[in-house]
C-alpha cells in the first residue's frame, strides 16, 4: 500500500549481525522490523560457517575410519562410503534447526520479520519488494547488515556447475574426482581439506608466497604438512589467468611468478579469492550514506555511518569478515540506538581456521608485537607433551603465549592443533581481562585436558614449566 508503517528501527539483513541486533533491540523495548530477502541466519547459517563445518565434520569422521585400526577397532573390509546426498539431507536438517531457533528468538522478542528485498528511499524511509507487493516503512534508526558475497574478479566467472563459488561447492550432489581451488585462504583450505579427506584430488592455487597468508607462517606449517599427507597439491606464487570449461572439465591456466605457464584440468574449480560487501544495490545514495573506494561503509566504534541515525555492521564494514564480529557489532549498534553506553573498542577478535590441524588465535603475533616496539617474551608448548593429546592421538601442534617482557601482560595467544577452535576461548577471556602471564600460570587447569598446554606455555615464559625439557 501507499501508507508507510512506522517503526523505531529497521534492520536490513537477517545474518548473525542483523538478527543479534534485532533481538537486543527487542530486549530493550524497541519496535523492530527486520527485512531478509532469503533465509534467516544469513551467509553464516545458510552457506558459510555452519554448512562448511558440517562438511568438515563429516569428512573428518569418514577419514578417521581409516585410522581406527590402531585403536583396536577393526571394520569389515570395503564397506565404508560417503554419500553426498545423505550428507546434504543431514546438513539441511542442521541448517533448518538453527534457522528455526533464530526465527523463534526474534519473534519471542517482538521482532517483525519481513521477507523481501529492501532498498532505502530516503534517509528515513525504506521500501521492500515482497511477493508481488511493495511495502514502505519509516524509521527513527536503521541498521545495514546486508553482509557480503563471493568476489569473482573478471575475467574469472562462475557457472554454478563446473566453476563454483563457496555456495555452490557446498551443494554438490557428489564428491568430485578432482577439484582446483583458486585462493588458499581459510575458506579454500578448509573446504579443500574436507574434500581431500573424502577422496578428491585437490590442487590449491595461491597467488601469494604461501597459503593462509593472514596468519604467521610458523602457525601454518603443520597444516601444509598435513595437506601434503592427504595428497593435496599446493601451488603458491601462482596466478590464475583464465578458467574455461572443456568437455565438462575445468581448465585452469596458471602462471608462476617466473612466467612459467601450466594448465590444470580438474572436474571442478572453486574460486575462493575473497568477498565483497553487499552495498551497491540498497539505495545508499538516496539515504545519503558514504562508501569507501572498496564499497565498505565507514563507521565509528558504535557502528554509526555518516548519517548518525543509520548504522552499519558485519561484513559491510572493514575488519575481519567473521560472524562473531558481526554479532558483537550488532549488539553494540542496538545498545547505542537505545541510548546505552556501548562501543566496539576491543582488538581481541579471535580467528579460527577449521583445517587439520586447526589454527586459532587472538591478539598480536610475535612479529606484530615486535613491530609495535614491545620487548617480547614468548613460549610454546607442544601437543606431544600433553597427556590428553597423546591419549586421543592428537600429538601435532602447539600452544603459544606472547608476553610483554616489561609488564608481563599477555599480548597474544595462538594455538595450532586438535580443538584449537574451542581452546582459544580461554585466550580471548585472558586478553579481554588484561591478564598477566602469571594469571595463566597460576590458574589450575583440569587434568588430563588440552587446556593444560596454556598453563605450561605460560610457565614456560616464566621459566618453570613442569613438563618441558
The residue ranges that bind ligand FAD (CB under 6 A) are 12-18, 35-38, 42-44, 48-49, 52, 117-118, 145-148, 166, 187, 278, 282, 314-315, 321-324, 326
Residue 93 assigned to a binding site: no
Helix axes 16-27, 323-337, angle to 10 degrees: 30
Q: What are phi and psi of 378, to 5 degrees?
A: -145, 160
Q: Whose CB is nearest to ligand FAD?
A: 147
- Which candidate in 408, 447, 464, 467 is catalytic? 447
> What span, in angstroms and rounded, lies between the C-alpha atoms of 275 and 315?
9
**Between 34 and 441, CB nearer to ligand FAD:** 34
Q: Is 134 helix (H, G, I), strand (E, B) or coil?
A: strand
> What span, in angstroms and rounded, lies between the C-alpha atoms of 103 and 95?
12
Residue 29 assigned to a binding site: no
**Between 57 and 324, CB nearer to ligand FAD:** 324
Helix segments in 233-295, DSSP class H:
284-287
Residue 113 assigned to a binding site: no
CB of 204 to ligand FAD, least distance (A): 15
Residue 374 assigned to a binding site: no
Residue 63 known to be catalytic? no
Cis preceding linkage at 209, omega within 30: no
Of how many residues is the chain composed? 469
**Between 278 and 396, CB nearer to ligand FAD:** 278
Put the strands of the sheet holding 201-205 in their side by side order: 163-164, 268-271, 178-182, 201-205, 233-235
CB of 335 to ligand FAD, least distance (A): 17
**Between 44 and 457, CB nearer to ligand FAD:** 44
Residue 167 assigned to a binding site: no
Can you read off the three cell numbers belonging to residue 431?
586478553
> What span, in angstroms and rounded, lies between the C-alpha atoms of 253 and 262?
6
CB of 266 to ligand FAD, least distance (A): 19
CB of 39 to ligand FAD, least distance (A): 7
What's the half-sphere exposure (Cβ side, CA atoms, 13 Å) at 328? 17
Query: CA torsion, points 55, 60, 66, 72, in degrees to nearest 10?
Result: -140
- Residues with catalytic function: 447
Residue numbers belonging to the annotated binding site? 53, 146-148, 183-190, 206, 274, 315
Amino acid at each position: 500500500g501507499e501508507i508507510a508503517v512506522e517503526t523505531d528501527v529497521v534492520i536490513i539483513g537477517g545474518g548473525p549481525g542483523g538478527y543479534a541486533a534485532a533481538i537486543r533491540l527487542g530486549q530493550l523495548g524497541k519496535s523492530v522490523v527486520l527485512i531478509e530477502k532469503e533465509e534467516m541466519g544469513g551467509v553464516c547459517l545458510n552457506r558459510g560457517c555452519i554448512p562448511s563445518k558440517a562438511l568438515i565434520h563429516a569428512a573428518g569422521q569418514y577419514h578417521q575410519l581409516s585410522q581406527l585400526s590402531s585403536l583396536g577397532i577393526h571394520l569389515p573390509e570395503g564397506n565404508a562410503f560417503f554419500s553426498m546426498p545423505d550428507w546434504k539431507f543431514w546438513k539441511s536438517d542442521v541448517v533448518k534447526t538453527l534457522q528455526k531457533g533464530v526465527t523463534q528468538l526474534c519473534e519471542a522478542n517482538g521482532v517483525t520479520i519481513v521477507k523481501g528485498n529492501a532498498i532505502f528511499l530516503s534517509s528515513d524511509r525504506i521500501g521492500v519488494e515482497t511477493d508481488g507487493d511493495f511495502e514502505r516503512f519509516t524509521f527513527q534508526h536503521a541498521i545495514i547488515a546486508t553482509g557480503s558475497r563471493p568476489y569473482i574478479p573478471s575475467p574469472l566467472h562462475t557457472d554454478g556447475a563446473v566453476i563454483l563459488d563457496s555456495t555452490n561447492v557446498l551443494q554438490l550432489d557428489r564428491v568430485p574426482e578432482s577439484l582446483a581451488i583458486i585462493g588458499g585462504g581459510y575458506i579454500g583450505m578448509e573446504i579443500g581439506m574436507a574434500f581431500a579427506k573424502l577422496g578428491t584430488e585437490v590442487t590449491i592455487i595461491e597467488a601469494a608466497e604461501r597459503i593462509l597468508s593472514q596468519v604467521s607462517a610458523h602457525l601454518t606449517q603443520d597444516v601444509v604438512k598435513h595437506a601434503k599427507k592427504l595428497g593435496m597439491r599446493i601451488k603458491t606464487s601462482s596466478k590464475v589467468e583464465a578458467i574455461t570449461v572443456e568437455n565438462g572439465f575445468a581448465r585452469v591456466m596458471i602462471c608462476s611468478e617466473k612466467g612459467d605457464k601450466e594448465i590444470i584440468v580438474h572436474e571442478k574449480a572453486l574460486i575462493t579469492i575473497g568477498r565483497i560487501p553487499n552495498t551497491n544495490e540498497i539505495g545508499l545514495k538516496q539515504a545519503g550514506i558514504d562508501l569507501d573506494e572498496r564499497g565498505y561503509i565507514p563507521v565509528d566504534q558504535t557502528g554509526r555511518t555518516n548519517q548518525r541515525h543509520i548504522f552499519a555492521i558485519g561484513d559491510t564494514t572493514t575488519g575481519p569478515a567473521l560472524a562473531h564480529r558481526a554479532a558483537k557489532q550488532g549488539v553494540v549498534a542496538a545498545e547505542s540506538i537505545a541510548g546505552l553506553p556501548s562501543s566496539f573498542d576491543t582488538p581481541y577478535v579471535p580467528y579460527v581456521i577449521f583445517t587439520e590441524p586447526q589454527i586459532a588465535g587472538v591478539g598480536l603475533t610475535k612479529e606484530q608485537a615486535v613491530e609495535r616496539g614491545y620487548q617480547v617474551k614468548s613460549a610454546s608448548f607442544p601437543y606431544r607433551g600433553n597427556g590428553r593429546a597423546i591419549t586421543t592421538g592428537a600429538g601435532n601442534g602447539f600452544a603459544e603465549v606472547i608476553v610483554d617482557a616489561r609488564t608481563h601482560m599477555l599480548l597474544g595467544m595462538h594455538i595450532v592443533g586438535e580443538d584449537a577452535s574451542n581452546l582459544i576461548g580461554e585466550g580471548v577471556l585472558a586478553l579481554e581481562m588484561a591478564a598477566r602471564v602469571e594469571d595463566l600460570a597460576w590458574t589450575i587447569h583440569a587434568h588430563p585436558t588440552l587446556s593444560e598446554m596454556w598453563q605450561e606455555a605460560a610457565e614456560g615464559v616464566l621459566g618453570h614449566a613442569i613438563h618441558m625439557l
